[in-house]
Structure 1
Amino acid sequence: MSFLTISHLKKSFGATTVVHDFNLDIEKGEFISFLGPSGCGKTTVLRMVAGFETPTSGKISIGGRDVVNLKPNQRNIGMVFQAYALFPNMTVAQNVAFGLKVAKKPKAEIDATVHEMLSLIKLDHLAERYPYQLSGGQQQRVALARALATKPQVLLLDEPLSALDAKIRVSLREEIRAIQRKLGITTIFVTHDQEEALSISDRIVVMYEGNAEQVGAPFEIYNHPSSRFVASFVGTLNTLDATIRDATSGVITIDGKDIAIDRTRLNGHKNGDKISLAVRPEAVSLGEATDKRETTLDGKIDSVHFLGSVIRIRASLGENTVSFDTFNNPSAPPPSPGENVKVSLCAKDLLVLGH
């Protein structure tokens, strides 16, 4: 039995439904990311789990207990917001201790827990400083420590890194994941940043227009997207137009070149149908095919961007274009815009896009 269960959750504001029949089972100690664009409903689901929004219908249970009708302070949940939300008139130690004092814990227990939490986030040497004396990353770590101090059953993180610069975001997300693993706390992390979700999650819930489009491990979400939206939103994607030449044998045509793919991917399609294919940039290579499973297409270089260790290339294949990266080789200069080239890809890497 799952530790946190969300069943048939729905939320409407007047005539507008922002979450449609949302279902999810989360195991104890699992790190789940809600990933999607702004307005897709991910924060609304998080707020319903926290108790800040009341579901229009549905059920939320934690540890087998239905919490829908419980107030936020009765759910034993810790929450970290995008804004640090620290008390400016309190020191770091006092901020971390706040929830424990509200719960009327003994002073000795409060002191011990504050010391433990500040050691966990490696800020015990800043215990007497005030929030204005800290960097953004340090303030967010204090907010995390405050949320963990009450030993919640579930930790909710609502885009906690979006206000930080890129370098600090990377280090802090790794720190959050390490702390979560150490404590074994069940965690939901809301983000619109695909790289964050892919790098730290056990599973990802990709949301779109109030629905869970796909739920799965990062590897599955990236390599086997279940819809056109998931394929385009998660990672960089090339989209190619193709025509089915022989649905029975799985032969399609891309810019005049016949390619044989797994015919089961063409279920429901017939000869002459136009379809859309997707291929990840890392599945495209510059040069002739070197394997019998690969296909070579004729292309012309549109643009070349030198990024140091990586060179990003965009090439036209006729009616289609593809973007891909190649590693910098000091002894082999990259092609120039306008140059005719050969581009290769493997049929098994082509995804037939659905809805």
Structure 2
Amino acid sequence: MSFVNISNVVKSFGTNTVVKGFDLAVEKGEFVSFLGPSGCGKTTVLRMIVGFETPSSGSITIGGKDVTNVAPNKRNIGMVFQAYALFPNMSVFDNIAFGLKISGMTKQAVSVRVEEMLKLIGLTHLASRFPYEMSGGQQQRVALARALAPKPDVLLLDEPLSALDAKIRVSLREEIREIQKKLGITTVFVTHDQEEALTISDRIVVMNGGRADQIGTPNQIYNKPATRFVAGFVGTLNIIDAKVHNRDDGTVLIGSKKIQLSDPIEHVKSDGMVSLALRPEAFSIVPDAAKDVSLDGTVTSINFLGSVIRAVMDVEGREISFDMFNNPSLMLPDVGDKTSVYFASSDILALPA
């Protein structure tokens, strides 16, 4: 049986239903991320897990115990917030020790546990400092240590990195993942940053309009999106409307170009059109035996993105983005050039209408 079970949960605020029939089973020790745009319901689900909100219907169990109506302080859950929420008048040591003291732990036991947490987050030398004397990344490490100090059954993180600059955000998310693996603690992480979710998660829940559009591994979410929303939200994607030429043999027309799909055409609009999805990195401007399809067009823009160069070409009135590595030896097309791009038919994903 899964360690955290959310079963058919609905949450309404007056006439506004923000979570709609949400189901999720999280295994013990698993790292699951909720990913989605603002207002999709991900933080509301997190608040129901911790007990800050009560479901309008449905149930939540942790470790086999129904906690749907149990008070937050009785759930043994650690919570890390976006805004750190540290006590400004307390030192690092006392911030981490706060929950332990309230639980009635002896002074010696508190000291031992706090030292363990300081070592875990690498801030032993800053134990006597106050939050205002520390960087944002250091404060968030202290908030994490405080959440972990009481040895919670579940760790919840509500966009804990969004207030930090890019470089610190990357290093801290890696630290969080390493600590989570080391402790083996069941973790739910809320983010709107797809790169964060793809980098550190065992599984990702992509939320849209109060529902889970897809639940899967980062590989599944990125390479096999289940809905048009997931396909468009996670990563950059070309959506190409093609005309079905022959549903039985899987051929479609992009303009006048006939293409044989490797998978059956299951989702066909009433007008005989199908939406095809292709990632920009699937294309190459160099012919390759493994890439059995080509499209011809005119380059309309070139954008340098560091290690990657993203170009846009017009193919019979359709804009298609394709990526190239910034290789000095590669002859890149210029804006206005006629060029061909090559890709494998197996890279094409036919999406629901």
* TM-score, normalized by the shorter chain, greater than 0.5: yes
Which residue does the alignment assign to 2:341? 343
Which residue does the alignment assign to 1:212? 212
Which residue does the alignment assign to 1:118? 118
Kept after mapping to 1: 8 A contact 2:158/2:189: yes
Which residue does the alignment assign to 1:7? 7
Deviations 1:6-61 (A, max 9, x none): 11111000111000111111110000000000000000000000000011011111
Deviations 1:53-111 (A, max 9, x none): 01101111111001111110000000000001000000000000000011111111100
**Distance in 2 separating the partners of 1:213 and 1:113:** 41
Give the AA of the match of 1:247: R
**Distance in 1 separating the partners of 2:324 and 2:153:** 46
Which residue does the alignment assign to 1:225? 225
Which residue does the alignment assign to 2:144? 144
Instruction: Select the residue among 325, 329, 335 that pairs with 1:327.
Output: 325
Which residue does the alignment assign to 1:46? 46
Equivalence map 1:1-355=2 (5 Å): 1-262=1-262, 264=264, 266-267=265-266, 269=268, 273-287=272-286, 289-291=287-289, 294-355=292-353
**Distance in 2 separating the partners of 1:208 and 1:90:** 40
Higher deviation after alignment, 138-147 or 232-241: 232-241
Higher deviation after alignment, 61-70 or 313-322: 313-322
**Distance in 1 separating the partners of 2:260 and 2:220:** 24
Kept after mapping to 2: 8 A contact 1:244/1:270: no
Give the AA of the match of 1:261: L
Q: How many residues of Structure 1 are paired with residues of Structure 2 in the alignment? A: 353
Kept after mapping to 1: 8 A contact 2:268/2:352: no
**Distance in 2 separating the partners of 1:4 and 1:57:** 17
Kept after mapping to 2: 8 A contact 1:245/1:271: no
Deviations 1:288-339 (A, max 9, x none): x422651111111111123343222111111211112212232334211001
Deviations 1:137-157 (A, max 9, x none): 000000000000010000000
**Distance in 2 separating the partners of 1:262 and 1:272:** 22
SS at structure 2 position matched to 1:181:
helix
Alignment gaps of 5+ in structure 1: none
SS at structure 2 position matched to 1:197:
helix
Give the AA of the match of 2:194: Q
**Distance in 2 separating the partners of 1:319 and 1:180:** 49
Alignment gaps of 5+ in structure 2: none
Kept after mapping to 1: 8 A contact 2:80/2:147: yes
Kept after mapping to 2: 8 A contact 1:32/1:205: yes
What value does the CA root-mean-square deviation take over the aligned residues? 1.4
**Distance in 1 separating the partners of 2:55 and 2:136:** 33
Moved over 6 A (4+): none
